[in-house]
């Protein structure tokens, strides 16, 4: 046991020595050691690499704190330390390297807050990935709106709280915004969504698992047609789904499950001709399903379970041959199961449990 411990310690010691040697090569401009099995701490000698522009150490097993000497890397443009086991405070020194365009620290045991002046200290930032840190708390600072080159903002699975700032709408180059799994809030009209419609390049928007407690505004119809994914699941959103959602003609994924939506499925849904996944599970939707879904010829997954939908299952659903998953359980559907569902040769799961379906199971299904 002592020999094994000695060998492990020796291995870490040699690694530290080798990195110290490497980090004394002050002319280095690129260090790329990502996706290996490196472990141990990051030596303070990393601060000697004053010419370094790109540092990739992601996907290793580094531990300990990120050394403060990293502030000496004044030429650094890309810093990727994702998916290690770095611990301690989120280093403010990193956020003072003004040339940085890409910061990726996701998947580490880091704690702290986002600097309130982030917009002035990182004028060139384009990509900021801070997903799944152990204890990232506090608010999203309003000054982030001054990061005028920001395209990707990843802050999911943290402990952020407070209002989602309307100033995010000033980030006009933004194409990726992921805030899911925090404790973020908004006013009752979710006005930050209205501000985000100014981001004409926005493609991915995920707000799920935040207690937004508001009404989905009609302004969602003003999102750019570039939007391909919109996820506001489990956000305590109430009232009706606005008909204007049908304006999002490029949408591939629409996730509004686990909210308190009432009323019927918007008739404008038939305009989402590119839609591949529709998830409205676990709401309080009423009325008929109708034929509008039948016009979505790329639809693969339908999740309408745990609502209060009634009437019959549309016969034309059998014409949507791309369907693989249909969840309609726990509603108030009645009538026969359409024989046309036998046309769905790629169907993997059909769940009609806990409804009021009658008649016999069509022999066409399963052939």
Percentage of the chain lying above the pLDDT 90 cut: 88
Is 134's pLDDT higher than 50?
yes
Q: Mind listing the pLDDT tens digit for each residue in 269-278?
A: 999 999 999 9
Structural class in CATH, domain 1-159: alpha beta
Q: What is the mean pLDDT of residues 248-271?
A: 97
CB-based contact 75:50 (threshold 8 Å): yes
- List own/partner pairs for 344-350 with CB under 8 A and 24 or more apart: 344/318, 344/320, 345/321, 346/321, 346/322, 347/323, 348/324, 349/324, 349/325, 350/326
Is a pLDDT exceeding 70 seen at residue 5?
no
Asked whether the predicted pLDDT for residue 23 surpasses 80, the reply is: no
Answer yes or no: is pLDDT of 38 > 50: yes
Give the pLDDT band of residue 25 (cuts 50, 70, 90): confident
What is the pLDDT, as a whole number, of residue 366?
A: 60
The residue assigned the tokens 């009538």 is 335
| Per-residue confidence band for 19, with pLDDT thresholds at 50, 70 and 90 | low
249 has pLDDT over 90 = yes
Q: Tell me the three state secondary structure of residue 342.
A: helix
* pLDDT of residue 367 exceeding 70: no
Tell which residue, 175, 179, 151, has the closest CA to residue 165: 179
Give the pLDDT confidence score for residue 18 in this predicted structure: 63
Average pLDDT over the chain, rounded to an integer:
92
- The pLDDT tens digits for 285-301 are 999 999 999 999 999 99
**Which stretches of 207-335 are assigned E, i.e. beta strand?**
229-231, 238-240, 253-255, 260-262, 277-279, 286-288, 301-303, 308-311, 325-327, 332-335
Q: Which residues contact 72 (CB under 8 A, 6 or more apart)?
A: 47, 48, 49, 50
Q: Which of 234, 197, 218, 305 is nearest to 268 (CA)?
A: 218
């Amino acid at each position: 046991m002592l020999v094994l411990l000695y060998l492990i310690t020796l291995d870490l010691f040699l690694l530290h020595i080798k990195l110290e040697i490497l980090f004394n090569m002050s002319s280095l401009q690129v260090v790329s050691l990502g996706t290996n099995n490196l472990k141990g701490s990051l030596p303070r000698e990393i601060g000697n690499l004053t010419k370094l522009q790109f540092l990739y150490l992601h996907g290793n097993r580094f531990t300990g704190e990120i050394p403060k000497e990293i502030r000496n890397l004044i030429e650094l443009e890309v810093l990727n330390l994702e998916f290690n086991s770095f611990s301690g405070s989120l280093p403010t020194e990193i956020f003072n390297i003004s040339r940085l365009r890409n910061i990726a620290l996701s998947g580490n045991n880091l704690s702290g807050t986002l600097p309130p002046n982030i917009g002035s200290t990182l004028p060139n930032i384009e990509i900021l990935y801070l997903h799944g840190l152990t204890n990232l708390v506090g608010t999203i600072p309003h000054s982030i709106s001054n990061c005028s080159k920001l395209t990707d903002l990843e802050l999911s699975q943290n402990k952020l709280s407070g209002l989602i700032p309307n100033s995010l709408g000033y980030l006009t180059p933004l194409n990726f915004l992921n805030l899911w799994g925090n404790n973020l809030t908004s006013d009752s009209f979710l006005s930050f969504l209205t501000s985000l419609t100014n981001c004409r390049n926005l493609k991915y928007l995920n707000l799920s698992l935040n207690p937004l407690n508001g009404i989905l505004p009609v302004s969602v119809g003003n999102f750019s047609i570039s939007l391909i994914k919109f996820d506001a699941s489990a956000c305590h959103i109430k009232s009706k789904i606005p008909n204007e959602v049908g304006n999002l003609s490029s949408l591939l994924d629409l996730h509004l499950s686990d909210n308190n939506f009432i009323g019927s499925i918007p008739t404008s849904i038939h305009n989402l001709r590119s839609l591949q996944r529709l998830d409205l599970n676990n709401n309080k939707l009423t009325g008929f399903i109708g034929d509008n879904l039948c016009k979505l010829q790329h639809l693969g997954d339908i999740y309408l379970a745990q609502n209060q939908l009634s009437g019959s299952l549309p016969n034309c659903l059998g014409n949507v041959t791309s369907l693989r998953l249909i969840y309609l359980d726990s509603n108030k559907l009645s009538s026969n199961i359409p024989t046309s569902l036998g046309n769905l040769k790629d169907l993997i799961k059909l769940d009609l449990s806990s409804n009021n379906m009658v008649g016999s199971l069509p022999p066409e299904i399963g052939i």
